[in-house]
Amino acid sequence: MLRFGAYEHDKGAKTSLQVIRIMQVWNRIVLHNLYRNHMILTTMYKTYTFIYYSQIWRNIILLYCINYEVIRPHKYTTLQVIKEIWNTSSKETNPFDYGLFLST
């Protein structure tokens, strides 16, 4: 399990330190899951420039790291993972509102 420090209490990445922390987590996710979750990671990477400063990014990180025992990406299809993200995201920050995940 990864620890995020002050980022847990923040709505998004507003400082360079938080961006660095996010990138460290992103790199760990990529290195750990690159083979089994190629499609999911590709989808996440395509939307990175939008979600890295938003609540969506925090929700995705929480899904992959803190709640890893609840949702195991290698046992789910990409659409099932996206559905889980949809269910745990607030409507104000839902990625489907922008159609970003649908473009992959």
The string of pLDDT tens digits covering residues 5-18 is 444 444 444 555 55
3 state SS of 40: helix
- Among 49, 64, 63, smallest CA distance to 19 is for 49
CA atoms within 13 A on the CB side of 21: 19
- Among 34, 46, 27, smallest CA distance to 73 is for 34
- Among 77, 66, 65, smallest CA distance to 32 is for 65
Residue identified by tokens 């989808």 is 43
> Rounded distance, CA 19 to CA 65, Å?
17
- In the predicted structure, residue 19 carries a pLDDT above the cut 50: yes
Percent of the chain at pLDDT exceeding 70: 0
- pLDDT score at 80: 62
Mean pLDDT of the chain: 52
- pLDDT score at 50: 44
Terminal-residue alpha carbon distance, the chain: 29
pLDDT tens, position by position, 66-80: 444 444 445 555 566
Residue identified by tokens 């990625």 is 95
